[in-house]
Amino acid sequence: MRKIKEVLRLKFESQLSEHEIAYSCQISRTTVRDYLRRATLAQLNWTEASTLGEVQLIERLFPVLPLPSQTDSRPTPDFQYIYDQLRTYRKYNLTLIQLWTEYKEAHPDGYQYSQFCDLYRHWRGKLDYVMRQEHRAGEKLFLDYSDGLSLVDPSTGEIRLTQLFVAVWGASNYTYAEATLSQSLSDWVRSHIHAFEYFQRVPYVLVPDNLKSGVDKACKYEPEINPTYTDLAEHYGCAVIPARPYRPRDKAKVETGVLISQRWILAVLRQRTFYSLAEINAAIKQCLERLNTRQLRRAKKSRRELFMSLDYPSALPLPLTAYEYAEWLKARVNLNYHIQVDDHYYSIPYQLLHQRLDVRQTASTIEAFHKGQRIAAHVRSSVKGGYTTLSEHMPSRHRAYAEWSPARFIQWGAKIGEATALLIQQVLGTRTYQEQAFRSCLGIIQLSRSYTPERVEAAAKRALKYKTYSYRSMKAILSGGLDQRQDQDSQPPGQLSLPLHQNIRGPEYYQ
């Protein structure tokens, strides 16, 4: 307002050019030219303008075009139809000139384009604040919580307050509501899934409040969305644009929807006693049907009819599979190339030791991501303190060790000979835990690298004969060449024989 007066003063009193006026008032030259043109049409000079108040000056420069009078024989455009068409088909870039063309085809004696537009803008200016918000058909779904009904625990008699989840479409005001036990992340995501299934459509944009389940860190410019909520949005192909903090008008739709839901649902059910969440939601569903099928006074249609004509055709289709709830967390790869999730350990490629990973956990799977790329996936286990390990995640040496087993060692020994396999079997039997004998068995098998398989097999036969079941006795037999000697059936008279034992070296050791 002050700039209009200043433009007129600088033009008529100071005799400045349009360029100088625009620079002085920090407005465009087009705006300056428009103000001066309107003053000329209104035959307004600076002497008269300086005495006018704000309202009078606006009325002189921007006169309001009256609606067609009763005596005007030209057909009046259907402004409500024009308004609905512009909202519904905005994705096709529908404009007023196209609607005016259709109007003129139906009414050749109707208004010309400029007056057609002025009449529509005048009618639209009479709408209330909520109606004036621009909500594209199928574009936005507004979401919020409010206090819900009370629930009585049948076993303890404890009274628990539930939460009422409310979702409202921007264009049609079509509403969904359900009761939850909390505003936790799992309840928040589950309510979204139920809402999408109820609508059988998905919006392009989700507009939640800044509750912790949806927004990790509220910010006017760059809010940090919860990873699980982002995962949900990606699955359904929509975006999340939270309302600005402390700006309730950003989500006026759902604020009004909450009030209407309280009036048509909570107020109706306030005197009933409920003993389960399912019972509450069954009652809410009945009230919700009455709310969505009730005819709106201004629109002369129900919310469901508006939804089917506006939001439903323009919104995204529902995916074939529902979103599987998943939580995200951070985990560091331990020295044993495993990460810990709910007291269970899952293997990660050993090359990522000490790296910090993003972990996505569902009811059935555990997935690990490094820099956005999935590097491991496991079936979720409920064994506390247990390990789930994939061989491809292990170093080659560890992988070979993990493949050790009694049957594997016996199989390796059998490739050398029957006596070697039998000896390994006996070595395994000498330990309380067979794993304790694995290295002894490996040493016996590795002897075939230094000696021929025939000599190792002969040494095994000698070890079996004298019951010396160890790697050291096999090493002593081969290094002393005893496997190549002929055993004597009897010993010289008067010579006493020592008992065979793995700790007695025997004379062969000193040869």
Residue 166 sits in a domain whose CATH number is: 3.30.420.10
Residue 452 lies in a domain: yes
Q: Which residues contact 181 (CB under 8 A, 6 or more apart)?
A: 151, 160, 162, 163, 187, 277
Are residues 242 and 289 both part of a single domain?
yes
Residue 67 lies in a domain: no
Extract the tokens encoding 94: 């529908």
Q: What is the DSSP letter of 249?
A: G
Are residues 445 and 345 both part of a single domain?
no
Residue 71 lies in a domain: no
Are residues 367 and 232 both part of a single domain?
no
Strand order in the sheet with 327-332: 327-332, 356-361, 365-370, 373-379
Residue of 264, 15, 300 lying closest to 164 (CA atoms): 264
d(CA 224, CA 201): 26
Residue 66 lies in a domain: no
Are residues 284 and 362 both part of a single domain?
no
* 184: region left, alpha or beta (phi > 0 left; psi from -120 to 50 alpha): beta
Say if residue 67's pLDDT is above 70. Answer: no
Are residues 300 and 336 both part of a single domain?
no
Most confident option among 220-224, 236-240, 391-395: 236-240
Extract the tokens encoding 265: 């649902």
Q: What is the pLDDT of residue 23?
A: 80
Q: How far is CA 261 from CA 18, 19, 145, 265, in A?
A: 55, 56, 11, 5
Q: How far is CA 486 from CA 50, 483, 489, in A?
A: 134, 8, 9
Burial 62-76 (b: 16+ CB within 10 A, else e): eeeeeeeeeeeeeee
Extract the tokens encoding 100: 């005016």
Are residues 333 and 377 both part of a single domain?
yes
Are residues 157 and 214 both part of a single domain?
yes
d(CA 461, CA 507): 19
Q: What is the pLDDT of residue 349?
A: 92
Contacts 24+ apart (CB under 8 A), 214-218: 214/143, 214/188, 214/240, 214/242, 215/242, 218/242, 218/245
Residue 72 lies in a domain: no
Residue range of the domain that includes 436: 404-510
Element of type H or E holding 141: strand 140-152
Q: What is the pLDDT of residue 247?
A: 57
Q: At 131, is the pLDDT very low, low, confident or very high (cuts 50, 70, 90)?
A: very low
Q: At 178, is the pLDDT very low, low, confident or very high (cuts 50, 70, 90)?
A: very high
Whether 473 contacts 506, CB under 8 Å: no
pTM for this one?
Answer: 0.52
Are residues 267 and 189 both part of a single domain?
yes
Residue 49 lies in a domain: yes
Say if residue 1's pLDDT is above 70. Answer: no
Say how many domains are in the chain. Answer: 5
Q: Which amino acid is at 438?
A: F
Are residues 416 and 502 both part of a single domain?
yes
488 compared with 66, residue with greater pLDDT: 66
CA atoms within 13 A on the CB side of 46: 11
Are residues 357 and 240 both part of a single domain?
no
Lowest mean pLDDT among 6-10, 158-162, 210-214: 210-214
> Pick from 394, 414, 435: which residue ends a domain?
394
Reduced to 3 states, what is the DSSP secondary structure of residue 140?
strand
Q: What are phi and psi of 309, to 5 degrees?
A: -95, -25
Say if residue 177's pLDDT is above 90. Answer: yes
Q: At 408, is the pLDDT very low, low, confident or very high (cuts 50, 70, 90)?
A: confident
Q: What percent of the chain has pLDDT over 70?
A: 84
Residue 73 lies in a domain: no
Q: What is the DSSP letter of 324?
A: P
201 compared with 242, residue with greater pLDDT: 201
Q: What is the pLDDT of residue 222?
A: 47
Q: What is the pLDDT of residue 493?
A: 47
Whether 476 contacts 505, CB under 8 Å: yes
Q: What is the pLDDT of residue 368?
A: 92
CA atoms within 13 A on the CB side of 65: 14
Q: What is the pLDDT of residue 378?
A: 92
Furthest C-alpha separation in the chain: 150
Are residues 240 and 189 both part of a single domain?
yes
Residue 322 lies in a domain: no
Say if residue 172's pLDDT is above 50. Answer: yes
What average pLDDT does this structure show over 490-510?
55
Are residues 83 and 180 both part of a single domain?
no
* 15: region left, alpha or beta (phi > 0 left; psi from -120 to 50 alpha): left
Say if residue 410's pLDDT is above 80. Answer: yes
Cβ neighbours of 13 (radius 10 Å):
12
* Gyration radius of the chain's alpha carbons: 42
> Pick from 365, 394, 423: which residue ends a domain?
394
> Pick from 394, 426, 441: which residue ends a domain?
394
